Amino acid sequence: MTQRYAPTRRHFLKAAVAVGGTAGLSACLDFAGEVPVPAGVEDPSTLPRRQHAWNDVLETDEHGNHALPKHHIFLYVNLDVDGEPTDSDRQQVADALSVLDRAYERSPAGLIFSVGYSPSYFQRYGSAPEGVDLPQPRALSDFEQPDFDTQDVHIHLASDRADVVMEADEALFGDRETANGVDAVAFPGTVDSRRTGFIEPGMPAEKQDEVDGIPEGTQVPEASKLFMGFNAGFAGNQASEAFITIDDGPFEGGTTKHVSRLHQRLDRWYGDNDHDSMVKKLFGTHQVGDVEGVGNNVGDHSGVVAEDLEALVEQAREHGAVGHAQKMARANRDEEGNVLTLRRHVESTDDGVASLHFPSLQRGISTFEAVREAMNGADITKETPAIRQRVNNGILRYIFVKRRGNFLVPPRELRALPTPDGEAP
Ligand code: HEM
């Protein structure tokens, strides 16, 4: 009789690294399994309705800025069935996801996750989700040629523990029999693409040798969460979770998510710029001198405010550059000054390239598109010869969009294969 191979937790995770392409996480497994992971809830229906409401469990710094969990896996999944899913497919998805709720505390010490559905998924039913602004992804500048993520489902797993995101992934899509002691149920789909990310001060510095392009002798600052040497995501420049929530129709309580994948050219970034020039191009012309080190001194707001085109052109002429955040602030505010997008981007070393997985949450995708189009600064380049498509134009010389995808993140009760009219029968 063949003896069944019973892997230890550590062997199992190592194997998952090998098959899953999650190499970036492997180095984090050294102490995996030694500290128990807090368990989830008995009744998942007691969890918050909004899948995107993470802030209540995230850590905050002394200024109230939220810190995302350290480790992330993004799963792009195609359903195994063609056409409309059946009730039993739906039940299987509901069961698979509820295993995660029961297995892991909804916190960075356990697991935080959300599940979204693409426009292509809804095409199975022949119509778009009712009341939701969810177009297919498209190129958002004249100088990018991204590939599009049109897989059915997008699952974002996040935890302070690499072993937890990997175990959750394996429980859904591997042969794993349990997740933190709870019997696993397989998700009825196939992972088309598995991407990994991380975000924590010190991690880019620690991983800078894993990627190409950082010039010899350059040290990414230890205090930085991002490869480009600054911190971002200040509370005052982020939308609230309430603001980005769809507020009527069958998907009330959900949100939309655009996810891009960007490559970074750090050789140019570190080669072209001193600290002041970095601040000017990333934040804005007014922030030079105000942003010290990685920017933690700014508190809970980057200092960037909405400026009209005339003011932006004047600044660009005077300073020979326009800032990344500076250009977008106007498009990223409503008439009352509310910020429109909630950015939850993380760094990545997938494929040995310094890159970024960039989820942005907002009530509708066209809001993201308008903010991203403002980043092109096309109207400023027309007025100012020194600012060109990719020259002195924020950080456009340093980032290259490889992929774009759009998803609806429905409210929790509709997270298992919803129909376009908002049923999950
Ligand atoms: C390597 C890539 C990127 C880096 C290093 C980066 C960094 C930053 C930094 C340092 C800020 C100012 C601080 C803050 O408000 O949090 C900022 C603001 C912002 N960034 Fe980025 N960013 C990147 C890519 C992008 C992309 C692709 C978008 C797409 C739309 C984007 C959208 C924004 C927005 C909307 C703001 C806030 C502007 C406002 O105040 O309204 N960023 N970013």
- Tell me, in angstroms, the distance from the centre of ligand 1 to residue 377's CA: 14
Q: Return the minimum-mean-pLDDT range out of 7-16, 104-113, 275-284, 391-400.
A: 7-16
pLDDT in tens, 326-363: 999 999 999 999 999 999 999 999 999 999 999 999 99
Residue nearest to atom 17 of ligand 1 (CA): 325
Of ligand 1's listed atoms, the one at least distance from the Cα of 304 is 40
Residue 358: CB within 6 Å of ligand 1?
yes
Every domain of the chain and the residues it spans = 9-414
- Tell me, in angstroms, the distance from the centre of ligand 1 to residue 144's CA: 18
Statement: residue 6 has pLDDT above 60: no
Residue 332: CB within 6 Å of ligand 1?
yes
Q: Quote the pLDDT of residue 232.
A: 96
Q: What is the mean pLDDT of residues 311-330?
A: 97
Q: Quote the pLDDT of residue 34.
A: 75
pLDDT in tens, 361-408: 999 999 999 999 999 999 999 999 999 999 999 999 999 999 999 999
Of ligand 1's listed atoms, the one at least distance from the Cα of 264 is 1
Residue 367: CB within 6 Å of ligand 1?
no
Statement: residue 62 has pLDDT above 70: yes
Q: Quote the pLDDT of residue 14.
A: 44
Q: What is the mean pLDDT of residues 83-102?
A: 97
Residue 354: CB within 6 Å of ligand 1?
no
The token pair that represents 238 in the structure block: 């982020």
Task: Quote the CA–CA distance of 384 and 98 in Å, as a whole number.
Answer: 55
Q: Quote the pLDDT of residue 27.
A: 52
Statement: residue 279 has pLDDT above 70: yes
Residue nearest to atom 29 of ligand 1 (CA): 372
Q: Quote the pLDDT of residue 4.
A: 32
Residue 325: CB within 6 Å of ligand 1?
yes
Tell me the best of 211, 237, 355 to mutate to test the pocket of ligand 1, counting ligand atoms within 8 Å of each CB and taking the most: 237
Mean of all residue pLDDT scores within the chain = 93
pLDDT more than 70, % of the chain? 92
Confidence of residue 30 (pLDDT cuts 50, 70, 90): very low
Q: What is the 3-state secondary structure (H, E, C) of the chain?
A: CCCCCCCCHHHHHHHHHHHHCCHHHHHHHCCCCCCCCCCCCCCHHHCCCCCCCCHHHCEECCCCCEECCCEEEEEEEEECCCCCCCHHHHHHHHHHHHHHHHHCCCCCCCCEEEEEECHHHHHCCCCCCCCCCCCCCCCCCCCCCCEECCCCEEEEEEECCHHHHHHHHHHHHCCCCEECCEECCCCCEEEEEEEEEECCCCHHHHHHHHCCCCCCCCCCCCCCCCCCCCCCCCHHHCCCCCCCCCCCCCCCCCEEEEEEEEEECHHHHHHHCCHHHHHHHHCCHHHCCCCCCCCHHHCCCCCCCCCCHHHHHHHHHHHCCECHHHHHCCCCECCCCCECCEECCEEECHHHCCEEEEEEEECCHHHHHHHHHHHCCHHHHHHCCCCECCECECCCCCEEEEEEEEEEECCHHHCCCCCCCCCCC
Q: Quote the pLDDT of residue 230.
A: 97
- Tell me, in angstroms, the distance from the centre of ligand 1 to residue 287's CA: 14
Residue nearest to atom 39 of ligand 1 (CA): 329
Q: Quote the pLDDT of residue 32.
A: 58
Residue 372: CB within 6 Å of ligand 1?
yes
The token pair that represents 373 in the structure block: 């189009």
Q: Quote the pLDDT of residue 423.
A: 85
Q: What is the mean pLDDT of residues 306-327?
A: 97
Q: Choose among 119, 100, 98: nearest CA to 111.
A: 100
Residue pair 169/194 in contact by the 8 Å Cβ criterion: yes
